[in-house]
Amino acid sequence: MLYFGNHHPNYPFCMHGMRPNEDGRTPYATHHTKGRLVRALALYGTIGSLVLSALATAPADGATGASAAPPAPVPHPISFGRCAPVEHLPSTVECGTLTVPLDYARPEGKKIKLTVSRIRATAPKERQGALVFNPGGPGGSSMDFPLYGSLSKWRRTARAYDFVGYAPRGVGRSAPLSCQDPEKFAKAPSDSQVHPTEAFKRHKTAQAKAYAQGCARRAGADLPFYDSVNNARDLDMLRAGLGERKLTYMGASYGTYFGAIYATLFPGHVRRMIFDSIVDPDPRQIWYRNNLDQNVAFEGRWNDWRSWVAKHHGVYHLGTTAQAVQRAYDKVAQQVRKHPAGGRVGPAQLQESFLNVGYNDAYWPARAEALAEYVRGNPKPLVTQAGPRPEDAADAENSNAVYTTVECNDAAWPHDLSTWDRDNTDVSRRAPFATWDNAWMNLPCAFWPEPKESAADGLSAAVRKAAGGASKNPGGDEIAEAARQVAAVHADGALHGRHGPVDIRTAPGALPPVLLMAAERDGATPYPGALELQRRLPGSSLVTERGSGTHGIALGANACVNTYTEAYLLHGRMPSHRVYCGPRAEPRPDAPSHRSRQAQKPHVVAHP
């Protein structure tokens, strides 16, 4: 999925779907190391005996999936203090850490720490509790969320709630994931092909395989535990760590998906929930089918932007029809393939930058100006908007690593490359703009290791570490823990097989009323997903923004939507089953700058 992040000013945690470059992988263990592995395992019994021991102590009721895990340990209250400098937060924000199990099935095993941020309610006498926010992703952080309280449309809510943000597992400093060297990941310029050649397909397939191997090599045995169910369990630990008896939560985009898992697992722990821009939760959609549907929705949004630019031909001079604007864009793509803009912007960077027009109308004028200025001979706006920034490479790689890991772990993906080729070729005939770039972003899931492989790799890594003298206890605790992990994974597989996505749903009356929000033309989370979630959460209400497609609509540019949002958060008032708000106003065109450059030789010529 092309990052379920939020590309608009109200949720400023923008993530950009950068495609991985090839990362070579060396074998995990040499023949010599394998010999050490065998000797190390002899210290702790064979894997077979460990599996039998685990089976002997497993639940006898046949519990499967998320419900099979024992209750999470009670966390210590979060101790807040000054934020680390690396967070770049002002002194008004306080930070802390939350300790959670890596694997909730083994709560006494390995622990990881999540970073948390907070600003207290600005009107203590009106305080209703903590409001926890997640902006989406997977791979998004809300560490900046406490600062929202200073924005005019959030101030009333900030009077009543502590604004709490956090970095989910894998993100930022929360047991971070990485699959590739950031510099290689962000290497530019790079190519993107709307209708890829067979040679390009082979190239991108090799990159995807190398990227999946990089994820497995770097995370080892921990890899399978970065998923949506564990994100939901972490959210409940966060609730308890904050001292909240019940959770008030606002999730956008991907945040609606694991928020809905939370509602399924812990309906009695919910106070109020807003799900804004909703992922289709049908297990059959997670995640492969959702990606294909998303491509079609993004094509509609791409057409919305092209039509808007054509309507303002008098400003941008890119053509009077959507087709003419497309021709101008295609010629720019051809030009930057031959001569990258600023030496940094090739077709992939161009495509990634213009994908944002599908997320938020606020990008429309800037992207139109950049395209128009490039046509007129001034590449600077395009380079500024689309050029990668080296200082962002580490964060971008981390976000992409989390995105890939969570989505690949959540569900089974096709391993037959012919399936990917058939389905994406078919969709690209109707929706060429985003389809193949989206496919390449998700293709590592075709090569994703099974949990048994990850556990075995983790054990190999522990043995190598011990053999190399890096461990203070060679052949000791780390190898024992890794061996126990192998046993647990084998036992779980023998008992339950592979876990599929959670069947999100609640019984009538089990869950307090939940407020759902969606825009009819949302490209990232197509509107039918909101209808599906409402069917699965009895008693929920759906607020629809008609005729609009901005991704993330709460407390934004639509006063009608904001009224429903505040009434629910501040007073618990629910609208009827389904209510509708009119569309937000279209953005105003900005006249392109540097008109004096019109006389310069153009890079491309747009045909009206």
Distance CA 435, CA 458 (A): 35
Closest CA to 223 of 19, 497, 452, 500: 452
The pTM of the full predicted model, rounded to 2 decimals, is 0.85
Mean pLDDT (whole number) for 330-356:
98
User: If you write DSSP's letter for every residue of 98-150 in order, what string do you get?
Assistant: EEEESSTTSTTS-EEEEEEEEE--SSGGG--EEEEEE--BTT---TTGGGGGG
The whole-number average pLDDT for the span 52-69 is 36
Task: Give the span between the Cα atoms of 287 and 121, in whole angstroms.
Answer: 37
**pLDDT band at residue 466, thresholds of 50, 70 and 90?**
confident
**According to the model, what pLDDT value does residue 490 have?**
58
- Give the pLDDT confidence score for residue 92 in this predicted structure: 98
pLDDT in tens, 67-116: 445 566 778 899 999 999 999 999 999 999 999 999 999 999 999 999 99
Q: Residue 46 phi/psi, 5° resolution? A: -80, 160
At residue 40 the predicted structure's pLDDT band, cuts being 50, 70 and 90, is: very low
Predicted local confidence at residue 474, as pLDDT: 54
**Contact between 491 and 106 (Cβ < 8 Å):** no
Name the average pLDDT for the chain.
Answer: 86
Q: What pLDDT score was predicted for residue 99? A: 97
Of 9-23, 313-327, 423-437, minimum mean pLDDT range: 9-23
What CA–CA distance (Å, rounded) separates 534 from 536? 5
Which residues are known to be catalytic? 253, 522, 551
d(CA 78, CA 243): 8
pLDDT value at position 592? 64
Give the model's confidence band at 497: pLDDT under 50 very low, under 70 low, under 90 confident, else very high: low
Domain boundaries, the chain: 515-581
Reduced to 3 states (helix: H, G, I; strand: E, B; else coil), residue 4 is strand
Which one-letter amino acid corresponds to residue 500? G
Q: How many residues does the chain have?
A: 608
Burial label, 528 (beta-carbon count in 10 A; 0-12, 13-18, 19+): middle
Euclidean distance between the first and the last CA atom of the chain, given in angstroms as a whole number: 34
Instruction: Give the pLDDT confidence score for residue 354 in this predicted structure.
Output: 98
Residue that wins the pLDDT comparison between 585 and 72 = 585
- pLDDT above 90 covers a percentage of the chain that reads 76
Given pLDDT bands bounded at 50, 70 and 90, which one contains residue 389? Answer: very high
Lowest mean pLDDT among 56-70, 502-516, 578-592: 56-70
Residue 551 exposed, middle or buried by CB count within 10 Å (0-12, 13-18, 19+): buried
Query: Residue 595 above 50 pLDDT?
Result: no
- Per-residue pLDDT averaged across 309-328, rounded? 98
CB 89 within 8 A of CB 117: yes
Nearest-angstrom CA–CA distance, 85 and 115: 13
pLDDT on residue 20: 27
